[in-house]
Copies of this chain bind each other. A is one copy, B any other.
Amino acid sequence: MATKRRTEPLTPRTSAARVTVKDVAKLAGVSLGTVSNALNRPTLVAPDTLAKVQAAVDQLGFVRNSAAHQLRGGRSNSFGAIVVDASNPHVAAAIRGLEDAIHTRGASLVVCSSDGSADRERRYLQMLEEQRVQGIVITPVDRGVRRLEALRERGTAVVLLDHASAAGDFCSASVDHALGSELSARHLFDRGHRRIAFVNGPLNLRQCSARRRGARRAAATAGLNPDDAIVELNLTSISALGEVPALIEKVCAAPRGERASAVLCLDDAVALVVLRVLAEHRLRVPRDISVIGYDDVAYAALLAPALTSVRQPTYELGQAAGQLLVAEIHDGYHVHQHLNFQPELILRESDSARARLNRYDPRGG
């Protein structure tokens, strides 16, 4: 799989002795305290002394040891993020937002993927606390937050990321999952749809039950009976794409008067499969049936028809989490906030301007 190519025959480890303030002081001909002042409170030191110190620093390549700094000062300058999987695109965007938020404070971010393992989460929490990070943004593996409460008790700020545990006494930043599906369902009902199919995930997942709640709310708001207006089709797992065709076939096979005129999808990947199955059935989108995705991945806009989808402000989510953390650390006292970000419906071509109620044309014309 990988090609190794050898280049240099051998490189001795030039373990150059680390240079300390003491070395700098000696070279500059001043005392340790003066070097420290020059570095941290330059106004206190005479201009020419400053120059000498600066020269010595440059010449020796001195780099301050932040461990010693931290030991003296009592406080590190880094933060931690514990997420389920940092390679998930959503999560990666949130982490990026978080990184930017704390980078403006000159701090750095330790990224940890728990992989859903409570054990891995615990190990990472331990490591971060040992490092005396100022704060941790975490999507906890399980509901128990006792450990996090103890952590904060001991002085580490904690903010929950996309975890609806309003129970826990923490700041939190999340996306309003219920609102996401409410927006798209409402949009469809407003346009005249009276019966929509909803390909959702298993309802024991928080997001999925929230999504269901939102859709039903939209139906109720439109004066419809949710049980009639929404055909619920639940996958047994969030990634069980293979089950989608069968579910959609069921939709297509429904009697004329009852066939759903739109399909709400768990995510854009599901929407893609839905589009394919509908095409196989010679149903035109959006003319015969509307389709709305979720996530607004990069390719949604490139499809034919371009996919209407729900965008989640994940970068902003992470950024806000970082700001909450900074606020919690800065404020002497503190009011816990729950920031609930609103997803946004991105209208494109895959939903019809007006539902052609339950007309079914097998020739696709």
Please indicate the chain B residues that have their CB under 8 angstroms from the CB of A54 in the complex: none
- A338 and B273 within 8 A (CB): no
Selected contact of A272 from candidates B128, B129, B299, CB within 8 Å: B299
Stretch among A91-99, A230-238, A350-358 lining the B interface: A91-99
Q: How far is the CA of A109 from the CA of B81 in the complex (A)?
A: 11
- B297 and A78 within 8 A (CB): no
Number of A residues, CB within 8 Å of B: 96
Assuming the A-B contacts A95-B87, A113-B96, are A334 and B11 also in contact, with contact meaning beta carbons closer than 8 angstroms in the complex?
yes
- B78 and A86 within 8 A (CB): no
- B9 and A335 within 8 A (CB): yes
- A16 and B99 within 8 A (CB): no
A10 interface residue (CB < 8 Å to B): yes
Please indicate the chain B residues that have their CB under 8 angstroms from the CB of A70 in the complex: 67
**A residues 288-318 touching B (CB-CB < 8 Å):** 297-299, 302-304, 313, 315-316
Q: How far is the CA of A298 from the CA of B267 in the complex (A)?
A: 12
Q: How far is the CA of A67 from the CA of B303 in the complex (A)?
A: 52
A142 CB to nearest chain B CB (Å): 20
Majority SS of interface residues in chain A? mixed
The chain B residue with its CB closest to the CB of A124 is B108
A13 CB to nearest chain B CB (Å): 7
Q: How many monomers of this protein are in the complex?
A: 2
- A268 and B96 within 8 A (CB): no
Q: Which of A4, A77, A96, A268 has the most CB of B within 10 A?
A: A96
Assuming the A-B contacts A3-B339, A92-B92, A272-B303, are A153 and B12 also in contact, with contact meaning beta carbons closer than 8 angstroms in the complex?
no
Q: How far is the CA of A299 from the CA of B12 in the complex (A)?
A: 48
Q: How far is the CA of A315 from the CA of B76 in the complex (A)?
A: 30
The chain B residue with its CB closest to the CB of A270 is B302
The chain B residue with its CB closest to the CB of A317 is B2
Q: How far is the CA of A199 from the CA of B155 in the complex (A)?
A: 55
- B340 and A5 within 8 A (CB): yes
Q: How far is the CA of A171 from the CA of B100 in the complex (A)?
A: 29
Assuming the A-B contacts A65-B71, A87-B92, are A2 and B110 also in contact, with contact meaning beta carbons closer than 8 angstroms in the complex?
no
Interchain residue pairs A-B with the least CB separation, the first 10? A87-B96, A92-B92, A66-B130, A67-B70, A272-B302, A67-B67, A3-B340, A111-B111, A276-B304, A67-B71
Q: Which residues of A contact B (CB under 8 A)?
A: 1-16, 18, 61, 63-71, 74, 76-78, 85-89, 91-93, 95-96, 99-100, 103, 106, 108-113, 120, 123-124, 126-132, 150, 153-155, 166, 169, 176, 241, 268-269, 272-273, 276, 279, 297-299, 302-304, 313, 315-316, 320, 332-342
